[in-house]
Chain A
Amino acid sequence: MSRELYTRSNVWVENTLSNAREQAADRGYDDFLIVDVDAHHYENRAWADIVPFMEDGPMKEWAHAQVYRGSTGGASMNASAALTGVQIGNQEVGGRIVRAGRNFKDAVTEADDERHHDVVRMLWAMDNMGVDYTVMFPTPMLNLGMHPQIEAEVSLARAYNRWLTQVLLPQDDRIKTMIYLPFNDPKAALEFVEEFGALDSVVGFMVTSVRNRMVHHNDYAPVYSAIQDLGKPLAFHAAYNWNEPNLAQLNKFISIHALGFTTSNMVHLTNWIINGLPERFPDLDVLWIESGLAWIPFMMQRLDNEYMMRTSEAPLLKKLPSEYMRDMYFSTQPMELHHNEKALEVTFEMMDAPNRLLFSSDYPHWDYDLPSTIYDRPTLSEEDKRKILGGNAQRLFKLPDGVRKKLARATDW
Chain B
Amino acid sequence: MTTGTPTVQATKRVHVGSEAEFEEGSRKIVEVDGKRVGVFKYRGKYRAYLNVCLHQGGPVCEGKYFPRTTAEVNDGGELIKEGSDFDSAHLVCPWHGWEYDLATGEHVADSSYALKKYTVTIEDGDVYVQQ
- Chain A residues engaging chain B, CB cutoff 8 angstroms: 1-6, 8-11, 13, 16, 18-20, 22-23, 93-98, 337-338, 366-370, 372-373
Most chain A beta carbons < 10 A, residue from B43, B56, B66, B86: B56
Question: Which of B29, B66, B86, B95 is the most central at the interface, judged by chain A CB atoms within 10 Å of its CB?
Answer: B95
Shortest Cβ gap from A39 to chain B (Å): 15
A sample of 17 more A-B contacts (CB under 8 A), given A5-B24, A19-B58, A97-B96, is A5-B25, A6-B64, A6-B65, A6-B66, A6-B89, A8-B23, A9-B25, A9-B65, A11-B62, A20-B57, A97-B94, A98-B64, A338-B110, A368-B96, A369-B56, A370-B56, A372-B57
Question: Would B97 and A96 count as touching, CB distance under 8 A?
Answer: yes
Q: Is B12 part of the binding interface, using a Cβ–Cβ cutoff of 8 Å?
A: no
Closest A-B pairs by Cβ, 8 of them: A98-B94, A9-B65, A5-B25, A9-B64, A8-B25, A96-B92, A1-B87, A96-B97
Q: Which residue of A lies closest to B98 (CB)?
A: A96
Interface string of B1-33 (1 = CB under 8 A from A): 000000000000000000000011111010000
Please give me the residue from chain A that is nearest to B51 by CB atom: A19
- Residue in contact with B97 in the complex, picked from A6, A22, A93, A370, CB distance below 8 Å: A93
Q: Which residues of B contact A11 (CB under 8 A)?
A: 27, 29, 62, 64
Contact A16 B59 (CB under 8 A): yes
Q: Are B62 and A96 in contact (CB under 8 A)?
A: no
Cα separation A372 to B52 with both chains bound (whole Å)? 13
Q: Contacting A96 at CB < 8 Å: which of B43, B59, B63?
A: B63
The residue in chain B whose Cβ has the minimal distance to the Cβ of A15 is B59
Task: Give complex CA distance A372, B56 in Å.
Answer: 7
Give the docked Cα–Cα distance between A361 and B24 (Å): 37
Q: Which residues on A sit within 8 Å (CB–CB) of B63?
A: 9, 96, 98
Closest beta carbon of chain A to B57's beta carbon, Å:
5
Q: Which chain A positions have C-beta within 8 A of B59? A: 13, 16, 18-19
Q: How many pairs of A and B residues are in contact by the CB < 8 Å rule?
A: 85
> In the complex the two chains form, what is the Cα distance from A95 to B58 in whole Å?
16
- B96 and A23 form a contact (CB under 8 A): no
Expressed in whole angstroms, the Cα–Cα distance for A13 and B42 within the complex equals 21
Whether A3 lies near B62 (C-beta < 8 A) is no
Range, interface on chain B: 20 to 34
A242 to B116, CA, bound (A): 39
Q: When the two chains form their complex, are residues B64 and A95 in contact, meaning their CB atoms are under 8 A apart?
A: yes
Whether B86 lies near A96 (C-beta < 8 A) is no
> Would you mind naming 16 contact pairs between A and B with Cβ atoms under 8 Å apart?
A1-B87, A1-B89, A5-B25, A5-B65, A6-B25, A9-B64, A9-B65, A11-B64, A16-B59, A19-B52, A97-B95, A97-B96, A98-B94, A368-B95, A369-B56, A373-B56
Of B25, B55, B57, B66, the residue contacting A4 (CB under 8 A) is B25
Return chain A residues, CB-CB under 8 Å to B110.
338
Is there an interface contact between A94 and B66, defined as CB atoms closer than 8 Å?
A: yes
Contacting residues, chain B, for A372 (C-beta < 8 A): 56-57
Question: Considering the complex, which residues of chain B in the window 59-98 have a beta carbon less than 8 Å from any beta carbon of chain A?
Answer: 59, 62-67, 86-87, 89, 92, 94-97
From A3, A23, A97, name the one whose CB has the most chain B CB atoms within 10 angstroms. A97
Whether B99 sits at the interface, judged by CB under 8 Å, is: yes
Q: A11–B51 Cα gap in the complex (Å)? A: 13
Check if B25 sits within 8 Å of A97, measured CB to CB: no
Q: Which residues of A contact B87 (CB under 8 A)?
A: 1
Q: How far is the CA of A1 from the CA of B65 in the complex (A)?
A: 13
Determine if B56 and A6 form an interchain contact, defined as CB atoms under 8 angstroms apart.
Answer: no
User: In this complex, what residue of A is CB-closest to B57?
Assistant: A19
Chain A residues near B64: list those with CB within 8 A. Answer: 6, 9-11, 95-96, 98
State A32–B29 Cα separation when bound (angstroms). Answer: 33
Contact yes or no, A23 B66, CB < 8 A: no
Contact A6 B96, beta carbon cutoff 8 Å: no
A147 to chain B, nearest CB (A): 31
Residues of A within 8 A of B55 (CB): 337
Closest to A338 in B: B110
Measured in the bound complex, the distance between the Cα atoms of B97 and A95 in whole Å is 9
A23 contacts which chain B residues (CB < 8 A)? 57
Please give the distance in Å from A236's CB to the nearest CB on chain B. Answer: 24
